[in-house]
Structure 1
Amino acid sequence: MAKLFEKWNLGSLELENRIVIAPMCQYSAQDGQASSWHLMHLGSLAHSGAGLLILEATAVTPEGRISWGDLGLYDDYCEAALENVITEVRRYSSMPLAIQLAHAGRKASTEKPWRGGKQIVPSQDHGWQTVAPSAIAFHEGDHPPVELTLGDIADIKKAFVESAQRASRMGFQGIEIHAAHGYLLHQFLSPLSNKRQDQYGGSLENRMRFPLEVFAAVREAVDDDVAVWVRISATDWVEGGWTLQEGIEFSRRLKELGCPAIHVSSGGLDPKQNISLGAGYQVQFAEKIKHEAQIETIAVGLITEPEQAEEILQSDKADAIALARAVLYDPHWPWHAAAKLNASVKCPPQYLRSQPRGFTNLLQSDITESR
């Protein structure tokens, strides 16, 4: 049997296969609240046949949103709107759902990407004052963030906990903590964005302190049957920045705190990054972290073909494969992968008749009519 379609345990969460739909921002929320777009989008992906669907980066505070259209989980209105959406999705899909909790830090207060994606300053509509470990702007000429005080840091940690508890109440089976792509927790990790002189800056131990505290606090705040893991950028791709070796050490420390896996991405911290793009360009980082930190990894980044995904798993370079743009382009990517690799996937009973001629067990019913 193809390894891509073997079951996989992500902590307490048992997945039907090793295909993970990565978080992808939709910039379609209103005041942090999920909209009808989210019902359409998530409903489509929940029928993809993947093993796990992770919702987009969801802010733990209003100021932690990347853009004014970002999803949030910081108040009762956000919770109620999102619960309405996922309740409907679950009516017709048994796919496990996870949520990525995030704070954008200095990369917050931006316009939607299709409107340019530039920073919106506090004096403009849809803009607000950003915060960060240090008062260093992301782009030269940007309105700078305000350096977080120790009290602010404690408040943000509390916000992560409260959002995690909201997610747990809604029945999310997994929580991914976003410490990648130049957002707040990554900003604490990287010496390029963290110039603090207190216990949260300077040495690697100090720079890891806040992200580790957030993970530990979230892990403690939810029941054991909710899996909690972390997405990291393995490198900044900038000289003098966060390195793979530091990422390995961070992963070791997370494992000690009960983290079952690391979702391994890269970059996003500094506009000067020089990324060597190519098919599966980040798999090397997932492989290194898997073997040197002795922790399971999810590989992501320009993994587009089923045979490519299968080779990564068969070669023990990672334990699962995450898809983002590829599954937006082809929401039935797992169906087509199963056809190529002689496997099967679950689908809604309404779609069973779409099974191509010559296949007998490619598509299997996800739910019963009476459910």
Structure 2
Amino acid sequence: MSRDPLLQPYTLKHLTLKNRVMTTSHEPAYPEDGMPKDRYRAYHAERARAGVALTMTAGSAIVSRDSPPAFTNVLAYKDEVVPWMAKLTDACHEHGCAVMIQLTHLGRRTRWDKGDWLPSLAAAQDREPAHRASPKLLEEWDIARIITDYADAAERMQAAGLDGIELEAYGHLMDQIWSPLTNDLDPPYGGSLENRMRFGLEVLSAIRARVGPEFIVGIRYAADEAQAGGITVEEGLQIGHRLKATGQVDFLNIIRGRVHTDPALTDVIPVQGMRSAPHLDFAGRVRAEVDLPTFHAARIPDVATARHAISSGLLDMVGMTRAHMADPHIVQKVMEGREDDIRPCVGATYCLDRIYQGGEALCIHNPSTGRELSLPHVIPPAGTRRNAVIVGAGPGGLEAARVAAERGHDVTVFEAASDPGGQIRLTAQTPRRAEMIGIIDWRMAQCAARDVTFRFNSFAEAQDVTDLSPDMVVIATGGMPEVSVLEEGNDLAVTGWDILSGDVKPGADVLIYDEAGDHVSLQAAELIAASGATVEIMTRDRSFSPEVMGMNLVPYMRTLQAQDTVFTVTRRLKGITRNGNRLRARIGTDYSDHEDMRDFDQVIVNQGTTPLADLYFDLKPLSRNLGAVDHGALVSGQGALFLDHNPDGTFTLYRIGDAVSARNTHAAIYEAMRMGVRW
């Protein structure tokens, strides 16, 4: 029996959980037609196989038709969900992992033009800023119907063999009714705390009448909304005591804050550069004062923090949800004494930002997450040992090297710089994004453990590569800033890279013209604004920084709005000329022929990158495949990736990441892995 606090079993009612690690409810947007089908099941089964004690599915499964699926939610109001959830539960139970599901009615936290186009509804007619729907005010018949819907959904989950359910009460209908900020109802469901809790308690009673006293039922709720006029700490504790007094609640899952705006959501679920585990002590206080089994998750990214949460008695079960998206094998590696081998969650929150922008959850540097059926987390060995040469030690090149070495190949990496990292090393210059270097550090450690040879300060040419007699060559040389976007005066502009690297000092009155919409412009703006300069960020788009997305935008806005910074949309920088010791910007728009002139000390243009691909084209005629890749074989995982177009060629060749076209870190790593596992 291990003495590690994380590996101790925990008994919840009649259920014995084999350790103290769980993944809390979240919706990765993998359901198909509202059902948790094969992809969804594989995602949860991977974590179960690797030792997590409890997987909470759905975030959340919706109980009523008039709660449209804003996040590609599981549809718990349909009977057909039962066999799909049964398959998922059986797959996890095979590995001793308990399964629960989170049930909810979203209330105003959705849109009316989703699902069946039924009006959204809530306890007040105020629009939720995040989803923009103006809800209908709840009527008595709505309340009675929804209570029944909750009970029906719980009964379905019991029939599917789940170990329990969790009711969502933060930002969704139940909590919207609990909170004075979002409840305009008259008694008996509005006014006093007793009245505001009535709906939730009636839901609990209806569920218990259906599933009986033994089925596990918990509630995830905001015990402090951290906003004036909302649920206070004192009222949150009262809610906990009232829930306990019913005898119908088996555990609490503690949240602090609100989720109605991007800034509020980001305080509940912090991103990189923000404090780790900011609400852990508060969750511990609720546990101590209410005395119910207590779960919690909010930026608990590493084993040390999770272990502290358990060993100090703050929690009974600790949630490591984003951490398990980065590495689903955390528990297994802890059990095997391989904590140093855990792929770190770097807090990029690419996963959640994609969900809130209508996409599917993907980890910025684990391409297998969500692709368990097609891209294994454990890389299979190759049948034949080969010689691989990788050019470029950015995230894509290092992933190609790691995968090749894991498969058993001999690997040599050329890198022109003195250190690995590529654009990520530049990104990590900003203290708030310093955690991004974990993407590089982890891969360097993996490569070192597998005897990958590195040649730094080596600007490789074709002869350098061919001298190593490679069987396969990967060009991961990235790109250089594109500087030709303007009609005139491109030579008068500098790039965001120039500012971040320190090669160019910030001006006093600066225009940043951003056509890429990524982190570079905002990082440069932060650095410039911190120097005391005036900054204007301009884009021809109708919104700025779309590639940064909502939650990651929050820290930038908090910094820049407090500085002398202006954001201008739908305007296009056409050209730059000199005007004495100033630069004159000719500014137009895509919407009309209107132009005006304005002067600045410095103009920065961020147009993304152009491929640095000379070496690829030098090697192309020497390769067997002439650089060609069969896209059908690549996507399907079947057939030959590289065709022998050149009988005189001696190696296969392909390029990845920005060496092909300007994209992002995930794209480069994904390309490296899905090609590499086929060698």
| TM-score of the aligned structures, taking structure 2 as reference length | 0.46
Distance 1:196 1:76 in 2: 32
Paired residue type of 2:41: L
Distance 1:13 1:157 in 2: 27
Query: What corresponds to 1:5 in structure 2?
Result: 7
Query: What corresponds to 1:302 in structure 2?
Result: 299
Query: What corresponds to 2:207 in structure 1?
Result: 218
Distance 2:11 2:209 in 1: 20
Contact kept, 8 Å, 1:58 with 1:65, in 2: the verdict is no
User: The residue matched to 1:58 in structure 2 has which SS?
Assistant: strand
1:111-150 mapped onto 2 (5 Å cutoff): 121-122=112-113, 127-139=117-129, 142-150=132-140
Contact kept, 8 Å, 1:62 with 1:74, in 2: the verdict is yes
Cα displacement (A) at 1:136: 1.4
2:189 maps to which of 178, 197, 200: 200
Greater relative CO, 1 or 2 (CA 8 Å, sep 6+): 1
**Is the deviation greater in 229-238 or in 91-100?**
91-100
User: The residue matched to 1:135 in structure 2 has which SS?
Assistant: coil
Contact kept, 8 Å, 1:2 with 1:341, in 2: the verdict is no
Contact kept, 8 Å, 1:20 with 1:53, in 2: the verdict is yes
Distance 1:309 1:325 in 2: 13
Paired residue type of 1:77: E
Cα displacement (A) at 1:34: 2.2
1:105 maps to which of 88, 104, 107: 107
Query: What corresponds to 2:96 in structure 1?
Result: 94
Q: Per-residue CA shift, 1:214-271, capped at 9, x if unaligned?
A: 1232233213332111111222222211222222111111111222221112333432
2:242 maps to which of 247, 253, 256: 253
Larger radius of gyration: 2
1:214-293 mapped onto 2 (5 Å cutoff): 214-258=203-247, 259-271=249-261, 273=264, 275=267, 277-293=274-290
Distance 1:26 1:169 in 2: 24
Contact kept, 8 Å, 1:306 with 1:340, in 2: the verdict is no
1:82 and 2:71 matched: no
Paired residue type of 1:80: P
Q: Which runs of 5+ in 2 are unaligned?
A: 340-377, 379-679
Seen in structure 2, the aligned counterparts of structure 1 residues 341 and 199 have a Cα distance that, compared at 3 Å, is farther
1:162 maps to which of 152, 162, 171: 152
Seen in structure 2, the aligned counterparts of structure 1 residues 340 and 184 have a Cα distance that, compared at 3 Å, is farther
Query: What corresponds to 2:19 in structure 1?
Result: 17
1:323 and 2:313 matched: no
Paired residue type of 1:213: E
Distance 1:24 1:183 in 2: 14
Query: What corresponds to 1:174 in structure 2?
Result: 164
User: The residue matched to 2:238 in structure 1 has which SS?
Assistant: helix
Paired residue type of 1:333: I
Contact kept, 8 Å, 1:131 with 1:148, in 2: the verdict is yes
Query: What corresponds to 1:37 in structure 2?
Result: 39
Paired residue type of 1:197: D
Equivalent pairs, count: 331
User: The residue matched to 1:70 in structure 2 has which SS?
Assistant: coil
| TM-score of the aligned structures, taking structure 1 as reference length | 0.82
User: The residue matched to 2:319 in structure 1 has which SS?
Assistant: strand
Seen in structure 2, the aligned counterparts of structure 1 residues 68 and 286 have a Cα distance that, compared at 3 Å, is closer
Seen in structure 2, the aligned counterparts of structure 1 residues 289 and 311 have a Cα distance that, compared at 3 Å, is same
Seen in structure 2, the aligned counterparts of structure 1 residues 62 and 30 have a Cα distance that, compared at 3 Å, is farther
Distance 1:190 1:142 in 2: 19
Distance 1:152 1:125 in 2: 18
User: The residue matched to 1:234 in structure 2 has which SS?
Assistant: strand
Cα displacement (A) at 1:288: 1.4
Paired residue type of 2:282: F
Contact kept, 8 Å, 1:11 with 1:227, in 2: the verdict is yes
Query: What corresponds to 2:622 in structure 1?
Result: none
Seen in structure 2, the aligned counterparts of structure 1 residues 289 and 150 have a Cα distance that, compared at 3 Å, is same
Paired residue type of 1:49: G
Q: Per-residue CA shift, 1:38-92, capped at 9, x if unaligned?
A: 12212212213111111111111132244262101112223233334444x2574
Q: Per-residue CA shift, 1:161-199, capped at 9, x if unaligned?
A: 01111111111111111112x011111111111111221
Paired residue type of 2:31: A
**Is the deviation greater in 268-277 or in 137-146?**
268-277
User: The residue matched to 1:192 in structure 2 has which SS?
Assistant: helix
Contact kept, 8 Å, 1:68 with 1:127, in 2: the verdict is no
1:61 and 2:61 matched: no
Q: Percent identical across equivalent pairs?
A: 26
Seen in structure 2, the aligned counterparts of structure 1 residues 91 and 183 have a Cα distance that, compared at 3 Å, is closer
Paired residue type of 1:165: E
User: The residue matched to 2:108 in structure 1 has which SS?
Assistant: helix
User: The residue matched to 1:83 in structure 2 has which SS?
Assistant: helix
Seen in structure 2, the aligned counterparts of structure 1 residues 288 and 141 have a Cα distance that, compared at 3 Å, is closer
Query: What corresponds to 1:186 in structure 2?
Result: 175
2:333 maps to which of 329, 333, 336: 336
Contact kept, 8 Å, 2:68 with 2:115, in 1: the verdict is no
User: The residue matched to 1:99 in structure 2 has which SS?
Assistant: strand
